[in-house]
Structures are given as C-alpha cells and as structure tokens.
Structure 1
Amino acid sequence: MQFLFKIYQRLTWLSIDVVLGAMAGMLFFERALRVELAWQEYILLGMAVWCIYTADHLMDARKLVADHAEDRHHFHLIYQKPLLAILGVVGCVGLFWAIKFFGFSKELFFGAGLGLVIMGILFVVRKLAAKKVRLKELSSAIFYVIGISWLPWYEAPTIDYTWTAFGLTILYMGLAYLNLIMLSSLDKESDTESGFSSIATLIPQEKLNPRIHQLAIGLILIALIGLLLVNSLYRIFPSLLLFMLLLHYVSFFKSGSSPEQIRMRMEVAFLIPAILLLL
C-alpha cells in the first residue's frame, strides 16, 4: 500500500492528477452542453494544463533552497533542468498539433490567448503585494473552469445556453475555489517556511477555517437545490458536483487523516465526472 501511495505521490508532483481531473471536467461540460468533442481536444487540453502547472511549480521552485523546500517544490527544484526540457518539448508539440488540428481558426487563437492570459495572471499575482495575493486562489479557480469548459461552450448551439448550464459552470468554479483554499490551509506551514504567500498565510487559521466551512456548506446547499430544481435530464450533473463537494467536506473536516491523504482525496474528487463515460 505504501508503494502505491508513493507512486501516486510522484504522479501528483508531476501534476498528472490535475491533468486527468481537467480532462474529466471537460467531459462534464461536454455532456452538460450536449456536444461531441474529439479525443485530440482532450489530449491538447491535458498538454496545456500540464505545461501551465509545471511552469508554475518551476517558478515556485526557483525561489527555494533545497533545505527549505516542501516535497513537491523540492522535486521541481532537483529536476528543474529535465522538467524544463520536457516542458519545452510538450509545449512545442502541443502548439504544432493544435495548429494542425484546428488550423488558424478562432479556436486556436482563443485557446492560445487564454493560455497566455493564465500565465500572465500567474506572473502578475507573484508580483502583487502580499495583501493582494489572496486573488491567486479566486483567479486560479475562475480560469481553471474557463479553461476546461470553453471548448464545450464554444461548440454548443445557442439553444443550450441555459441558466442550468451557467449555474453548473458557476458552481464548478465555487468547487475549484473551495479546493484551492482548502489546499492553501493544508499547506500553510510549508508555505510560510518557504516564503510563499497564499490566502492561508494572510488570514489567521482561526478565521479562515470557519470561512471554508461556511463556503463548503453554502455550495453543498446550492448543489442540493439545483438537484431538486433542474430538469430530470440534467440531474446527474448537480449530483456529481454534490458528491465532489461532499468528498471535499468529509476529507477536510471529518477524516482526521494526514494532510497528504486529505490532498489525495480532494484531487481524486475531480476525477468523479469520468463516471459519465459509463452512462
């Protein structure tokens, strides 16, 4: 069991879990908006997500010294040269493949522009004063969901631009934000030691955790209301979000597990929409 945990841990350090979660999220929006995406679009999304997260971790790692690096950052600090090389290869292959698949179309320019905007925001957030860095979690959550949902939204007919679809998108953003502030709370000690700023290093724990609890309960209630109000054809979608929210809540507040185990369960929650492959 410990061996399997170590394998999974290395996969999380390489952001593979985030990539799979993003692909599962795009499947969620594909089905919710009743469109059909090609498998190439999923691979291209995965490559883009991996490049953005790896670049972010490498930028973090450059600020550290080995003695004070938290495990994930320590990994990127030690292997920064091969990871930079792989990042360059994946980025170039992804760009070439995207041009070949989409051509010089609106999809290509919007996707490339969105990637540049996200990288720009990550850079700007690092330059902001510490009192404004709390924007990092909120902006990351918003752009994460935009990144995984824009292709289904783009390809969906206007008739499917419903309040239900908009509501599911906003609720997914709320879930992503909840995940990020929970992770920030778990990483507070290591972030403080490493000199990183996050919402958990700005807000005292005794104030932050009640806010996390209130947000989690609020999102769970919204998902329950959505489950009751939406058309029966759409009930699977608020049901999945409700399950993902409950898994976050139980993992963070009720499990009594180690931070690494809590992190693992919350990241696994984003794989739940893959169930739609079976339906």
Structure 2
Amino acid sequence: MARILSLDVVLGACISSWFVATIAQTPVDIVAIVALALCVWLIYTADHLRDAYQLDHEAHTPRHRFHQQYFRIVLFAFIFISLVGVLLLFYLPPLVVQWGVELMGFVVVYFFVSQIAPIQKIIPKEVMIAFLYASGIFLPIAVQFPAIPAKLYILFGQYVILALINLIIFSWYEYDSDQLDFAHSLATQHGKLKAKRLIILCTALVLVSVFVSGVLFSTKLFLYAQCIIFLMTMLLIIIATYPKFFRSYERYRWFGDSVFILPILAFPFVS
C-alpha cells in the first residue's frame, strides 16, 4: 500500500533533503520538509490519477488499478493535501515560497500542455519528474545561500540523473503493461533499446562525476556524499542488470524506490 501510494518515494525525498542539508552544513526547516513531502506526493499522485482517468479499461498494473478503483477517494485526498500545502505556505520562508510556487506553476503548465500537445515526445515525463523531484529536495537548502556553491550544483545534477535512471528503469520494466494501457513513457515512445542505452549513458555520467568531483572537492562531508551517490548508482545498475529477478513481485520498484532512502546510511558519519 505504501508503495502504491508513493509513500516510499516521499520518505526518500525527506531523507535525501536532510542528507543534502547535512552535507551543505545548513539547518533543516521541519516545515519545509513537511511541505516537500506533500509536494512530492501531490506530483506523483497527480500523474497516477491522470493515467487512471484516461484508461477506458481495467489497468494492467497494481498502481494504476488502485488509483482507478479508488479514484474519488484518492482525488479527495489530493484536494485535501493540496489545501494543507497552501496553509503551510504561511509558515515557510518567503524565498522558499517564491521558488516553490514557480516550480508548481511549471508543473501545472507541463501537465496542461501535455493534454493538448505531444510535449512528452520533446520532454519525456521522466525527465520532468526527475528534475522536479531533485528540485524539491534541494530547494529548502539552496535558498539559504547568497551564492549556491559549486558542490551543491554537482550534487543536484547527480540527484537529477539518479532520479531519471530510476524512472527509465521503471519504464523499461513496465513497457508491456504500458503498451496495453496506452500509457506514455520514455520506453514506449522511444523503444526499450534506446531506454537501455540511456540508462547506461546516465549511469556512466554519474560515475564519472563521482570520481571527478571526489578529486576536485576532497572535503570530508562531500566525500561521504559521493560514497552514498556511488552506492545509489550501483543499486540502480544491479536492478537494470538482473531483470529476471527484479521483475518478480515488482522487486524493481521496491528496490528502485529505496535508492533514495540509502542516504540514511550516512547518518552515523555525518551527524
């Protein structure tokens, strides 16, 4: 149930935001973390509700079937959580609100345009969601700097690519069910082979960035961060390499979504 409702994704975002704040040596605003949790859930749930609404037959994945069967209940929860999120705006720093509203506005425009134009062929939803997911994690930390450090930009880029790899792996595994449900994904639009090549390219980019940034920025905290990024990348590589094992019982989703919980392993070393 937690996975179907994307609660594990929410947990990963909150843990990752704490992790980034610790590496950046900035305080963590609990209200900002709660707002992040709500925003991540709203973005993922909006995508699931849209997919469920567009289906005119029974969905072929447990996630879509759930949102199809309990559409009204989830929609009510979506509206309620949205209202709670609006109330939280009054307790957040002005700059967080400004950047957050701009991000949410970008999301609304993207979802609206995707309904009337084939924008997903130009900007796949996996790219958009990966960028928004990482942006939500880094936003409460980035606004605290007059000038954002280069190390934070590197870490942000790594998170965007890791989130993208994660989503492409999901689209690769769910290619057949997405075809049956006429669902748009990077794999269905560009093919499984191109999706696999993109996974390889993205993992190579992250691994190269880990090595290069580890040499350029050798501070203790940042090296811990790069070790965690390396572990996250290796888990994604394993998921992509052994489809026979991870396809069973949708293990690819259990392990894939747990990737962003891995930063908790750094707690004994950075706390």
TM-score by length of structure 2 reads 0.89
Using the TM superposition, give the Cα deviation of residue 157 of structure 1 relative to its aligned residue in structure 2, in angstroms. 4.8
Q: Deviations over 1:53-88 (max 9, x none)?
A: 112211110011343442111100110111111111
How far the C-alpha of 1:232 sits from its partner, in A, is: 2.9
Alignment of 1:195-234 (within 5 A): 195-233=182-220, 234=222
Instruction: Say if 2:142 is the partner of 1:125.
Output: no
Q: Does 1:85 align with 2:76?
A: yes
Moved more, 179-188 or 209-218: 209-218
Aligned residue type for 1:236 = Y
Unaligned runs of 5+ in 1: 1-9
Paired residues, what number? 266
Distance (whole Å) between structure 2 residues aligned to residue 174 and residue 88 of structure 1: 30
Whole-angstrom distance in 1 between the partners of 2:139 and 2:209: 23
1-side partners of 2:192 and 2:47: how far apart?
25
Q: 1:40: which partner in 2?
A: 31
- Residue aligned with 1:14, SS: coil
Identity %: 24
Q: Does 1:148 align with 2:137?
A: yes
Shift of 1:229: 3.3
What amino acid is aligned across from residue 58 of structure 1 in structure 2? L
**1:235 equivalent in structure 2:** 223
Letter in 1 for 2:265: I
Code of the residue aligned with 1:272 in structure 2: it is: L
* Secondary structure of the corresponding residue to residue 12 of structure 1: coil
Partner of 2:256 in structure 1?
Answer: 266
* C-alpha distance in structure 1 between counterparts of 2:13 and 2:153, whole Å: 18
- Offset of 1:230 from its aligned partner? 2.0
Q: What residue is the counterpart of 1:5 in the other structure?
A: none
Structure 2 vs 1, CA of residues 168 and 106 (structure 1 numbering), >3 Å: closer, same or farther? Answer: closer
| Structure 1 residue 133: Cα displacement | 5.3
Rounded Cα–Cα distance in structure 2 between residues aligned with 1:133 and 1:195: 18
CA contact (8 A) 2:52 2:65 kept: yes
Asked if structure 1 preserves the Cα contact closer than 8 Å seen for 2:228 and 2:262, the reply is yes
Aligned partners of 2:225, 2:206: CA distance in 1, in Å? 14
Equivalent residue for 2:241, pick from 253, 257, 267: 253
Deviations 1:85-119 (A, max 9, x none): 111111112211331x127x332233223222223
